[in-house]
Structure 1
C-alpha cells in the first residue's frame, strides 16, 4: 500500500545522526546540512560516548544549522544499532513526521531533502541513493532472500521510468521513514550492536507498507574504504568486530523470522554458510590476510546461545508500548 497523497513539509522531517569518535567526518556532515535547501525541522545527533571533541564540534553548529539541534551523548558506546534506536526514539518524541537516518561518514546533497520529499506523498519507507567516496554510483543490495536471510547480490541495479524499485530491506545510511511505520514496527533493536539491524528493520517495515529505493542521489560517502572491484559489484573491507557481529547476529535474524513465520531452517542455515564464506573471501581478497577467522567462530558460538534463549522477545511496536505504559527501550 502507499500513503495517501499529501504535501511534504520539510520542517516535519528530522535528520538523526549517529557518531562515534569521528568529529572530522561529523563536521563535514553538519557543514553539508548548513548548505541544505530546504532544511529539516530538527537535527538529532546521537554521540556514542565519544572521547574526542565531538561535543564541542556539535555545540559549534547549534546556531548555524538553520534547524533545531538536539544532542544526546550516550553513557557508553551502544553501537550503530543502539545509536539509531535512540535517534529514532528522540525524533519520534519530537513529533517528527519523517525521520532520516544517517551515519557520520556521509554528507547530504544540498537538495537531498527536496528529492526525498518528492516521494513522501506516495510512500512511507524510502531509501535514496548515494555516491561513493570516489564519486561513483554506489550499488546497495536492496532485496533480501528471506528464506536464506541474505542480500540478493544480482538484484537489478537500473531503474525504469517509474523511478523506483520495491525493496524488502533497509539501510540506516539514508533510511527515510514515516512515523506511522515506526509506531507499527517499533524502534530498531539495539541488541544487534552493529550489522543486520537495518536489514531486519527494513524487512519489518516492508511488511507494513510498500518500501522503495528511489533513483535519487541524496548522499555522498566521505570516508574511503578499501574495496575489491569485482566488476559489476564491489566488496568492502571489514573489521574483526564486524566479522563477529555478522555471524552472531544471524541468531537475532532467526528470532525475528520465526516470530513472523518466515524462518526456513535448512535454507537459513545455508544462508549462514554463504555469509561465512563471503567473510572469508573478504579477508583474503580485500584485506589480504588470513587472521581474523576466530571472530567468525566466536560469533557463531555466541549466536547459538542467543538462538536458544527462550526468554527472547522482539522490540515492541511503539503503539503497544505506549498503551501498556511500557518504555519503548
Structure 2
C-alpha cells in the first residue's frame, strides 16, 4: 500500500549528506571491469563517505587493482576479500553488512560491470529526503536506455515485463522490486528487513529484497541516469524489449530459488499455491524461449529440472527461517 507523503517511512528530516553514503561493490575475477568502475568513482563529484569492495575469492589480480586505487580514489576504501565465492547474493549481503556496521545512512549497491555517472550520487541524493528505497536508471552497453522490470506481479512472484517505461512530471514511479545493480537504500529499511539472503547465491535475491523493502516504505524508480553498463551481453531483440542470454548456472538458480521466494511468501502470509505455481511455470517457459531464441540451442534444460528438484527440498523444509531484522539480530 502506498504511504502518505508525510509518513516517517517515506521522508527523512535532514538534507542528504554524500558522506553518509557507502558504495558497496561485489566483484569476482573481473579486474578489468572493476578498473573501469573504480576510475568512474575516482571521477565522481560528490563522492561517498566509503567505498566497500567485496571480493568473492577472485583468482586474478583484483587485490592488486584495488590497492592501486586506495590513495587516489578520493574516499575511504574498505577491501573485504571472502574465503569462498558466495555468489552475488552472498557478496551483496556481506557488502551491506560492512556498510551498515560502518554507520552508513545510505547504501548504494552495484556490480563490477557498471560505471558511475560523475554526478550520480548527487542525482540519487536529490531524492533521499523523500524516499528510502530508490532505484536510478542505467544506460546499456551501447548507450541506449536500459529497461528494467520495476514491478512484480506479487501473486505470481515474477516481474511484469511490460510495465510502462515512461515518466510523468513527478520524475518517479512506484516500484515493488529491486536490483542490486544500483539499489540505493536507507539503513532504516535495512534494519527492519535485515540483510539480503545469501542462500540465493544468484538470481531473484534483489527482486525479493526490493519487494520486502516496498512493504515497509514507498519504493521508487526515479528518472535519473546514474549508471552505465560496461559489459556487452548477447541479446534477442524483441522490438520494444530485449531478452538477454543466460548460463547453465543461472538456469539452475532461476528455478531452485523460486522455493526461497515461496518460503518468504509463506512467512508473510501472501503465498497462494496456484498463482505462484503459474509464475514458476511461466518462468520455466521463459527460460526455454531464452535457450532457443537467444542462445540458439536446446541443451541446458537439465539445469532447469535440477533446479526444480532441489527447490522442492527447500520448499519442504519446515525449519526454514527468513533473514531476521537487524534489531532482532543484535
Taking structure 1 as the reference length, the TM-score comes to 0.97
Name 2:223's counterpart in structure 1: 215
Structure 1 residues 265-314: Cα deviation after superposition (integer angstroms, max 9, x where no partner): 00100100000000000000001111000000000000000000011000
User: Is 1:33 aligned with 2:41?
Assistant: yes
User: Is 1:150 aligned with 2:158?
Assistant: yes
Name 1:56's counterpart in structure 2: 64
Structure 1 residues 247-266: Cα deviation after superposition (integer angstroms, max 9, x where no partner): 00000000001111111100
Distance in 2, matches of 1:4 and 1:136, equals: 33
Please give the secondary structure, in 2, of the residue aligned with 1:158.
Answer: coil
Count residues with an aligned counterpart. 322
User: Is 1:293 aligned with 2:321?
Assistant: no
CA-CA distance at 1:6 after TM superposition: 2.0
Distance in 2, matches of 1:69 and 1:54, equals: 14
Name 2:54's counterpart in structure 1: 46
Name 1:136's counterpart in structure 2: 144
Distance in 1, matches of 2:13 and 2:323, equals: 30
Name 2:194's counterpart in structure 1: 186
CA-CA distance at 1:3 after TM superposition: 1.4
Alignment partner of 1:269 out of 264, 277, 282? 277
Name 1:283's counterpart in structure 2: 291
Structure 1 residues 48-79: Cα deviation after superposition (integer angstroms, max 9, x where no partner): 00000000000111001110000010000000
Distance in 2, matches of 1:32 and 1:250, equals: 35
Name 1:70's counterpart in structure 2: 78
Distance in 1, matches of 2:239 and 2:223, equals: 21
Name 1:203's counterpart in structure 2: 211
Name 1:112's counterpart in structure 2: 120
Name 2:94's counterpart in structure 1: 86
CA-CA distance at 1:4 after TM superposition: 2.9
Please give the secondary structure, in 1, of the residue aligned with 2:11.
Answer: coil
Name 2:315's counterpart in structure 1: 307
Unaligned runs of 5+ residues in structure 1 are 323-329
Distance in 2, matches of 1:277 and 1:179, equals: 37
Name 1:11's counterpart in structure 2: 19
Unaligned runs of 5+ residues in structure 2 are 4-9
